[in-house]
Amino acid sequence: MFRGVARNHQSNFRRLVQVLVIGSDGDHCPANVYEAAQEVGAQVASHSAILVTGGLGGVMEAAGKGAKDKGGLVVGIIPHEDMSYANSYCDIIIPTGIGFSRNYITAYSADSAVVVGGGAGTYVEACVAYQKGKPIIALAGTGGTADKIANTFLDDRKTVKVLSASSPKDAVDQAIEQAMNGKKGVRYFQNVARMI
């Protein structure tokens, strides 16, 4: 059974935080939601974190644009098997070819998630992050899924409370803080890795 990579020495390597931004697709993304997502992407880049998205339109494209405008790195994990479907702001395109089951890959690839607007697909992706205990921050006032799940638990197991943010900056600040210091944050796993 594979148990991971043994580390025989201390490394100065510091893994970058990966923030997933999920929300309204291009077919139902009003201008105010697009602008909010663009600012979320810019904030992710300003924290020197990696932006992870589903790589398509709407919130995914807007967040990518915001990150690229600030010199950030954007990973697009798309449901198609052809890279040409990705938006033009993706630096790294991962074509899964598995349809929207790719929501599992996006959620598993993130240290935390920010929800901007969104519909049923966004809700499914947030539920996957929730099941994995990932910190989730909903940007209040962007409508849809974000407004519905802010300050709630997604089920009676109370795995992780979805936090609410009042601005894109607040959302990303919380996402970074939770990713770094939360129960399952990056520092937690770095400490566990040192013990192995």
pLDDT reported for residue 77: 98
The predicted structure's pLDDT at residue 182: 67
Percent of the chain with pLDDT over 70: 86
> Phi and psi of 118, rounded to 5°?
105, 160
Of 45, 41, 85, 77, nearest to 59 by C-alpha is 41
Cβ atoms < 10 Å from Cβ of 101: 12
Tokens 């240290």 locate to: 111
Rounded CA gap, 78 and 13, in Å?
A: 28
For 85, which DSSP code? Answer: G
Q: What is the pLDDT of residues 45-91, one digit of tens each?
A: 999 999 999 999 999 999 999 999 999 999 999 999 999 999 999 99
| Domains annotated on the chain, with CATH | 18-195 (3.40.50.450)
pLDDT at 128: 96
Q: What is the pLDDT of residue 15?
A: 87
pLDDT score of 181: 84
Model pLDDT, residue 194: 58
pLDDT at 187 over 90: no
Cβ–Cβ under 8 Å, residues 64 and 40: no
Q: What is the Cα–Cα distance from 131 to 9, expressed in whole angstroms?
A: 33
The tens digit of pLDDT for each residue in 83-140 reads 999 999 999 999 999 999 999 999 999 999 999 999 999 999 999 999 999 999 999 9
Give, rounded to a whole angstrom, the gap between the first and last alpha carbons of the chain.
Answer: 16
pTM for the full predicted model: 0.89
* CA 181 – CA 25 distance, rounded (Å): 30
pLDDT value at 10 more than 90: no
